[in-house]
Every structure is written in structure tokens, then in C-alpha cells.
Structure 1
Amino acid sequence: MTSGPGTGGRAFQKGLEALAQHVAREGRLPGRGVVEVLPDGVEHRTGIWIANIKARRAKLDSAQLAALAELGVDWAR
């Protein structure tokens, strides 16, 4: 299975799921050290993920950027 920020793959979807969960609970974006536990029990290093995805934002497609912007990620607008 292909994965990563440029593919819209499972890794990006897991990150987006973790980010949405955090924003819904906390009302803000996560700090760098935040780890979210997803409903399936998987721990996701959401704070690191958002920093990494920002560094690679040139590889994101418009749908991925829109999904991030919808969750309050300013640089994705």
C-alpha cells in the first residue's frame, strides 16, 4: 500500500484522524509532544506529524490542504 503525505494514503488519513480527534477535544492544534490514542488503540504522535507534514507541505495535494485548513491549520490555507 502506498502511503505518505503526497499520496493521500493511510498514513496521512491516520494523522488527519488524530488531528481531528485532538481539535474536537481540546479546541486547538496540538503541541509538538502530543500523542493521540485513536479509537483502534493505535498511538499517533500527532504533534510531530503536524510539524513533519508542514515541512513537506509542497507535496500535499489540494484536498489534503483543504482537510488540514478545515481543522484550523493556518499554513494549509
Structure 2
Amino acid sequence: MNFALLAKESWRVPTQEASLLFKFLKGKYFRRSSFLDGKWGSNPSYGWRSLLQGQKILKKGVRWRVGDGRTINFRTEPWIP
């Protein structure tokens, strides 16, 4: 159940970009990337380490839509299974 809660909280971060939490985490831990590409960084907080555990769960099952194609990086994205 703990992993499910971590995944749920980790899902909230990238889906609520207007929140203060998102803006804080974006500035500190994943400034030039997306949440799913976020790394440990230097001296990570307990909350950020917990969100990274949820991030691992999300990466196993999350898929994104192509849309208009502006956000696709075909060199680094695993777009072919």
C-alpha cells in the first residue's frame, strides 16, 4: 500500500504544474528535464527520495501520447518497445 501511495503522490507532481510543490521541485531537482527524468541531485530531501520511489513505479506503467510531436526527443525516448 505504501508503494501505491508513493506512486499516487508522484503522479500528482507532473500533472499539477501550477502547484507550488511542482514549482519548488522543478527548480531544485529537475530544472532542465521532466519529472520522470528527475535524478537524486545533491543532498536530496526525504520527500524527494520518496517521490523518486514512486517515480520508479510510474516509469513501469506510464505511457504518454504523441500529440503534436513538439515534445518528442526521438534520440532518447524509448518510443519502440
TM-score by length of 2: 0.33
- Structure having the higher strand fraction is 1
TM-score, structure 1 normalization:
0.34
Instruction: Tell me which of the two structures has the higher relative contact order, counting C-alpha pairs closer than 8 angstroms and 6 or more residues apart.
Output: 2
